[in-house]
Every structure is written in C-alpha cells, then in structure tokens.
Amino acid sequence: MKFIDEYRDNEKARLLLQEIYQQAKQPVRLMEVCGTHTVAIARFGLRKLLPQNIELVSGPGCPVCVTSQRDLDKAIAMAQLPRTIIATFGDMMRVPGSNSTLTEERATGRKVRVVYSPLDALQAAQENLDHKVIFLGVGFETTAPTVAATLLAARQKDIKNFEVLSLHKTIPYALKSLLNLGEIKLNGFLLPGHVSTIIGSQPYEFLAREYGLACVISGFEPVDILQSILLLLRQINMGQPQVEIQYRRGVRPEGNGQAQKIMRQVFEPADVEWRGLGFIPETGLKLRQEWAEFDAALKNNINLPEVAENTACRCGHVLRGVLRPTACPLFAKECNPQKPRGPCMVSSEGSCGAAFKYELSGAIK
Amino acid sequence: MEQLLNMNYQAQLSKNHKEEKILLAHGSGGELSHQLVSTFFLNAFTNPYLDPLDDMAVLKVGENRLAFTTDSYVVTPIFFPGGDIGKLAVCGTINDLAMGGATPLFLSVGFIIEEGFPFADLEKIIASMKEISMATGVKIVTGDTKVVNKGGLDQIFINTSGVGLIPPGVEVSGRNAKVGDKVIISGSIGDHGISILSSRAGLQFTTTLKSDCAPLNDLVAKMLATSLEIHSLRDPTRGGIASALNELARQAEVGIWIEEELVPIKEEVRGACELLGLDPWHLANEGKLIAIVAAPVAEKILAQMRAHPLGKEARIIGEVRAEPKGKVVLRTNLGSTRIIDMLVGEALPRIC
Amino acid sequence: MCVAIPAKIISIDGLVAEVEVGGVSRQVSLQLTPAAKKGDYVLVHAGFAINIVDETEAQETLKLFAELERLNSAANLD
C-alpha cells in the first residue's frame, strides 16, 4: 500500500537503528504523546530494538484514557434517557465509569451504537426520527474538526434530533501543564503526527523556546518513529532544541487552515478535567453559543452524585509519564484487559493495554 | 484447565456473578467465550468426552470412533458476498468434524425463524445448504423448525449438528502438537470477517472481496492420505487465527512461534483493516485451516495442499517450541518479538 | 489518537470522494480538504480526508534513507 509499506521496510529500519546506536551517547528520556504512537512502538517491539540509554515514556495522549470518570458517567446517564441512541467510536465502549461501561449498558438494552465516523451518527439521526442521537465527541485536534464539520452538515440539512457531547481536548497546553508539574525530567518529545496535520508546528514552539526540549513531529510507521528518534538525538547532541517535522508527507508547518477554521466556527476553549491530570484551563473544546441546539451537555439535565475515583488505580501516574505500566501494583493482577480497573488498560491504545498485549513477554528470547 | 475443573463450582459461580451478565463479547470466540465455557459449561457437564474441548467429541461405539459436534449460526447480515447463513451453517459443522480428522457423514439442521421472514429468502438459504450437501456427500438427515414472534430474534438462526467417523490410525487433537512441529495455514486470513463487515450498516465500504466460506473435508482427507503425522487441525473462525493459535498452544501446553512476514493476507483485507483500525489476526475465516504437523512431513503435506483448490496459497508460517508454554509469539518484519493474545471483547473499529 | 490512512481519490461528487486503499473503497467527506482532486492521496480519519498527502515530501523523506545508506557504506569502507 502506497505511503505505508515504504515506511515499514526493515532495511531502512535497520539503517536507522545503526545510526541511532551511534548517536545515543548519553541517557535520554523522550515522551511520546499519542495513543497511536504508544501502540505502534509496542506493536513493532521498538523499545527492545533501541539502545538501553534511550527511555521512551508515554504521556497523556490517549483521548480515551484521559476522559474523566465523571464524563463517562455523563455519557452512560445519557444512554439511559428514553428514546435516545448513543453513537460512539469503538474505543469508548469498554472504558469504565464509576460502575458501568457503555458495553454493559448495551447489554441491559440501552441503545448504544459503534460508528466509524461522526457522519454515520448523523445518518443514524436521519434514519431514526423518533429517537434522539447523541454522539460522543472524543478525540484531540485530529478528530474535533470532523465533528465540527458534521455539525455544519447537521445545520445545513436542518436535522433536529442530533446532539454532540463534546469531550474533546487539545494537546499543546496540556503538555505545558504536564511540564509545570515538574514531576518528570524529559529531553524531548515525539509529537503526534495527525494532531499536527491539523494544527501545524507553531503551537509547539514554546516547548523548544521556553523549556529547551527537542521536538519532532512524527509519523506512525516504524521507519517514521525511528527516524524521528534519530532527529531528536541529533537536536539533543547539538544542544539545538527546535520543532522539526519528520512527518513531512502529512504535516505542513501551517497545518490545515480549512480544518482549523471549521473547528473555530463550532468550538471554543473550555476548562476541563483530564483523568489523572485534574482540571487544566483552556484544554477542552465546548460548543459555541450559536450551536447550543446541538449541545448535549446543555440540553440534557444530568445530575450526577459525587463519586470518588478508584484510588488504587494509578492511571494518573501512568498518563503523566512517572509510572511505567509494569510498575503499577495492579498491572496484570487485578487489572487486565478483561477486567480493566482504569482506562489505560481498556484496550491496546492505553499504555497499560499496549504493555499487556504486546510487551508482557518476559519469557521470550 | 485442570485448575478450573478443581475449583468448587458454586464458589466460582457466586464469587463475581451477582451482577454479571452475558455480553456480546462472550460469543466472539475470544478470551471471554473461553471463560464462559470453562466457568459454566465445563464445570457443570464435565466428563472425559467434553473435557478436551476440541471442536468435536469422540465417542467410542463398538470398534468405531464416532465424531459428534454442534454449532449455531446467528450471523448478520444473513446474505453476504460469497455466501449466506445456510452455507455457513453446513460448512461450519462439516469443518468442525474435519478438524478432528473425522469423515463427515450426516447433519441435522434446526431452524429458528422470525415471524414475517420471506419465503424467498428461506428458499435461497436452503438452496445454498443443498449445494454444499451435494458437493460433499454429507446428507442432511433430520431437522427441526421453530417460529418466534416478530422481534423475538433477528430474521433466522440455524443450528447444525454433525456426525462422522474417524478412520483408524487418525489421531488429530489440539493436545497433540509436539515441539519441533511446523505450523501451516491453508490460505489468506480475514477474508470472511472483512466481507461481513463490508455489508454491515455504518461501516459500508466497497470491496470485491468475498467470504472464503467452504467445506474443508476433502482437503483434510487428501492431507491425511499423504501422512498421518498431522497432529492438530483447527479452523480459525470467530476470534481469528489469534484465538485459534492460542487455543492450540494452551491445549498442547507449548509455545507457537509465527513469522509475521509469512502469514498470507490479501491486499484488500489489509486495506480495510488499516482504514478501520482492525487487526486481521482477529477476523473470522470460514474456509481456512491451521495444521500442526511433524517437521519431516511438512513440505510433503504443503505440496498436497497447494495442489487442492482450497489450499493453493498454503504456507508454512511457523513452528512449535517448548516455551513460552501456552502462548503465541510473533516475530515481526523488523525482527522484534511480541506475544499475540486472544481477542478480548469484540473486534471494534477504532479511531485511536 | 489518530488512526489515519493514506488513500487514493478515485472519484469526486461535490464534497464527497470515493477513496481506495489496497483495493477497498469507501466514501469520505472533503469538507476539510475542499481543494483535493481526483488522483490525490489523502489522509483519511473518521470518514474525513484531513490532509492531502504531499508526494514530493514523501519522496524527500525516502531520499534521506538513500543518503543514510551511502553514508553507511562509506563508513564501512574505512
């Protein structure tokens, strides 16, 4: 497949690894902030192929993992409303709220439907006029424009039974917040390729300028990731932190202007809660006033009791990069993919899920 | 397996089961399905015929070894590219018998039909079943029909049970895999799973791909005629080759090592999986088999398979080692290794 | 967070394109990439094209490997 296979080529990978071994002169710690990077690194076994003094930690880049328990409970409460269909990406189906999941709600007869695109949810609204369809808007800046565009289409088609519960979040300020916690010392970031497709490279400049961190915007194939690590090492070795684009076939420095415009038309920044990171100002997206008729949060009166988060779950620490999944006391014991205690384990996108699925292999070799 | 059987049945039931209920994932053929079988059915019904949990039971009747199996078919959509629920129902049970080395002889068919189901659709389904029955010589000898109220089920469910005879000298079982054996797959993976998804509402993509649904008894007969050192056979249906290989590794308590590069996958399956974020290793196959055979005869068996219309793309994809016991290891194109787990939950399209 | 795949546009009708990857085709929206043309490769995420793949840049990235290979064999000759 074009633009995919060339970047999985193991000859190129081998060459890059050789060069990485040459350049890895000192211990470095790099954070990747994208669930898809977490999965790719685990799936291609890259950690084991890299030299020992390169440490890759996962950050809060899995939008499912950082959805707060309270937000999940809201979605579950909406599933329980009469004549309501919840449409969601597959990723959300097994994430635990305080005492249920969307999968379990479906098992009790609630209408929960997995869709591949928010447009499929809109179509469901058109096909089920006696129901209300609430779409769970999850995802970062890659996905938010697709939901915004869907709402534009909804208005244009005059659809009255479609709503969006916006749980969208944005990356750059979240990284700033993470760094300000001062919990972890990093040398550089492997930045998310597809978020950057939308927002470009400029929003990350402060990471290099103010924090002196090496930054490379990376694609998702093994060759992309290895090349990005090499570029990061070069920046670190030369003491020249900057924001570089490795994923040049997918990211322009200015990003996708049309997508940014549509996103701004529908959404505005909001202060939201990130699971494991607490409230971070201006890192969420909420529907603007003019789109209130589609705003599920405004239109449905959901009163939820205060529920304490599961204190044994260390997802917060994992998401902040200070705890490796395998070091969590619950990992592979009380917390595993069938009975996940926290979102990081729910499916292979979370750090713990990826570690369990792909790396729980001490017995190998 | 033994630990589960020894656990007190009541304790197991009451431990976490107060609020527990059946989820769709319990029927997907992955981890949860296995737990359901072990926890409920195996614990209650345990006996030497059931315990091996092969695709069929082997019953000694006089001098003969009778093979007996059953399966139910609830697939939607009921008509898909390359087949329908009837074809699936007949091939599926014939294949379960074949996977035990048995020669399939007779089938029963039970229909549960929703009120309002069109006669025309029923006729099409029956025609498919007849076609396979005629082609394989396996006769449908008894059956049953029930009709439920509209809404009681989705259109039509079919159960087929089958009996066959295991020829003398044939010993095929999940437990028989030996260290050093080679692992062969009869063709490309994921074809059925993707062709089903392509017809499902909400996913809708266009492909020329058809289900690989087919009866494998003739292929198996030719393989066994070549050599009796075929230790295990499994058709990777629900849960895909990931689940089937894990079952085999657990049953025989061996490690199964697979070379990623060697597993045949059609371009369209790869394309669809990339598009939707699915894993081809978890997708169902309805006309393929995995064979674990003694190393010295592997090439001979492979050649025989390749000469058969249903085995043209057969390949040796891996081998059996002593460790890690009960696990499946993949060697990636990059040379790294990782564990392949059984499917947990359903195979869902993802954006992340 | 972003499963997005490069797919080729095989036809366009207004702001809806039929794209193809590996022989499988699907409809996607061009609302976010209205300038896309037939024959372009686009990144597809959640039923939308989010970017037009820059083939020149793709070639540049691949050229870097050829460069690396040359450096490598030069180093090996020392």
CB neighbour list of residue C13: distance below 8 Å, 6 or more residues apart: none
Question: Strands (DSSP E) along B166-284, which ranges?
Answer: 182-185, 230-234, 255-259
Shared domain for B16 and B72, answered yes or no, is no
SS3 content of chain C, % helix, strand, coil (to 5): 30, 40, 30
Q: What is the reported pLDDT for B274?
A: 84
Structure tokens that stand for A45 in this block: 């076994």
Q: How confident is the model at residue A3 (pLDDT cuts 50, 70, 90)?
A: confident
**B341/A10 Cβ within 8 A:** no
For residues A345-365, give the mean pLDDT: 66
Shared domain for B193 and B323, answered yes or no, is yes
The pTM of the full predicted model, rounded to 2 decimals, is: 0.85
B156: left (phi over 0), alpha (psi -120 to 50) or beta: beta
Structure tokens that stand for B219 in this block: 């292929």
pLDDT tens for each residue of B299-347: 999 999 999 999 999 999 999 999 999 999 999 888 888 888 877 666 7
Query: Residue B300 sits in a domain of what CATH number?
Result: 3.90.650.10
Shared domain for B74 and B29, answered yes or no, is no
The helix (run of H) or strand (run of E) holding residue A285 is strand A278-287
Shared domain for B158 and B295, answered yes or no, is no
Q: What is the reported pLDDT for A362?
A: 42
User: In terms of CATH, what superfamily is A69-170+256-299?
Assistant: HypD, alpha/beta domain 2 (3.40.50.11740)
Q: Name chain C contacts of A89, Cβ cutoff 8 Å.
A: 46
Q: What is the reported pLDDT for A7?
A: 80
Q: Which of B150, B170, B190 is the last residue of a domain?
A: B170
B81 touches chain C (CB under 8 A): no
Q: Which residue of B has its CA nearest to C2?
A: B352
Structural domain boundaries in chain A: 69-170+256-299
Radius of gyration of chain A (CA): 21
| B240 touches B343 (CB < 8 A) | yes
Q: What percent of chain A has pLDDT over 90?
A: 59
> CA of B122: how far to CAs of A187, B131, B322, in Å?
66, 14, 50
Nearest Cβ partner of A198 from C31, C34, C50? Answer: C50
pLDDT tens for each residue of A278-330: 889 999 999 999 999 999 999 998 888 777 766 667 888 888 888 888 888 88
Question: Is residue A364's pLDDT more than 60?
Answer: no
Shared domain for B188 and B274, answered yes or no, is yes
Q: What is the side-by-side order of every strand in the sheet holding A188-192? A: A54-58, A28-32, A188-192, A214-218, A243-245
Q: What is the reported pLDDT for C72?
A: 65
Q: Would residue B347 count as lying in a domain? A: no
The helix (run of H) or strand (run of E) holding residue A318 is helix A315-319
Q: Which residue of B has its CA nearest to C45?
A: B351
Shared domain for B220 and B232, answered yes or no, is yes
Structure tokens that stand for B158 in this block: 């079919």
Split into its structural domains, chain B has a count of 3
Residue B60 belongs to what domain range? Answer: 55-170
pLDDT tens for each residue of C19-54: 998 888 889 999 999 999 999 999 999 999 999 998
B52 touches chain C (CB under 8 A): no
Range 39-78 of C in CB contact (< 8 A) with B: 44-46
pLDDT tens for each residue of B138-173: 999 999 999 999 988 889 999 999 999 999 999 999
Chains that touch A (3 or more CB pairs under 8 A): B, C
pLDDT tens for each residue of A55-96: 999 888 888 888 888 999 999 999 999 999 999 998 888 888
Q: Name chain B contacts of C24, Cβ cutoff 8 Å.
A: 194, 198, 205-207, 209, 268, 271-272, 275
User: Which phi and psi (to 5°) does residue A200 adopt?
Assistant: 75, -165
Q: Name the DSSP letter for residue B41.
A: I
Q: Name chain C contacts of A258, Cβ cutoff 8 Å.
A: 32-34
Shared domain for B43 and B25, answered yes or no, is yes
Neighbouring CB atoms inside 10 A of A201's CB total: 19
Q: What is the reported pLDDT for A359?
A: 67
Average pLDDT score, chain A: 90
For residues A182-194, give the mean pLDDT: 94
DSSP A31-65: EE--HHHHHHHHHTTHHHHS-TTEEEEE-S--TTT
User: CA A35 to CA A62: how far, in whole Å?
Assistant: 4
Burial of A222 (0-12, 13-18, 19+ CB in 10 A): buried
For residues A209-227, give the mean pLDDT: 95
| B102 touches B56 (CB < 8 A) | yes
B123 touches chain A (CB under 8 A): no
Shared domain for B3 and B151, answered yes or no, is no
**B337/A364 Cβ within 8 A:** yes
B271 touches chain C (CB under 8 A): yes
Neighbouring CB atoms inside 10 A of B152's CB total: 12
pLDDT tens for each residue of B64-75: 999 999 999 988
Shared domain for B191 and B331, answered yes or no, is yes
Annotation: CATH topology of C5-77: SH3 type barrels. (2.30.30)
User: CA B44 to CA A188: how far, in whole Å?
Assistant: 57
Q: How confident is the model at residue B10 (pLDDT cuts 50, 70, 90)?
A: very low
Structural domain boundaries in chain C: 5-77
- Determine how β-strand B182-185 pairs with β-strand B315-321: antiparallel
ipTM: 0.90
Structure tokens that stand for B87 in this block: 């074809």
Q: Would residue B351 count as lying in a domain? A: no
A350 touches chain B (CB under 8 A): no
B322 touches chain A (CB under 8 A): no
* Among candidate residues B238, B267, B271, the one with its CA nearest the CA of residue B342: B238
Average pLDDT score, chain C: 85
Q: Would residue B346 count as lying in a domain? A: no
Which amino acid would we find at residue B274? E
Average pLDDT score, chain B: 89
Shared domain for B73 and B133, answered yes or no, is yes
Query: Residue B82 sits in a domain of what CATH number?
Result: 3.30.1330.10
Q: How confident is the model at residue A349 (pLDDT cuts 50, 70, 90)?
A: low
C14 touches chain B (CB under 8 A): no
- Determine how β-strand B103-114 pairs with β-strand B139-148: parallel
Question: Strands (DSSP E) along B279-336, which ranges?
Answer: 290-293, 315-321, 328-331
Shared domain for B29 and B71, answered yes or no, is no
Q: Which of B119, B153, B170 is the last residue of a domain?
A: B170
B303 touches chain A (CB under 8 A): no
pLDDT tens for each residue of A120-152: 999 999 999 999 999 999 999 999 999 999 999
For residues B81-93, give the mean pLDDT: 95
Neighbouring CB atoms inside 10 A of A37's CB total: 30
Nearest Cβ partner of A349 from B276, B337, B350? Answer: B350
Shared domain for B335 and B190, answered yes or no, is yes
Question: Is residue B102's pLDDT more than 90?
Answer: yes
Q: Name chain B contacts of A124, Cβ cutoff 8 Å.
A: 202
User: Which phi and psi (to 5°) does residue A295 adopt?
Assistant: -90, 105
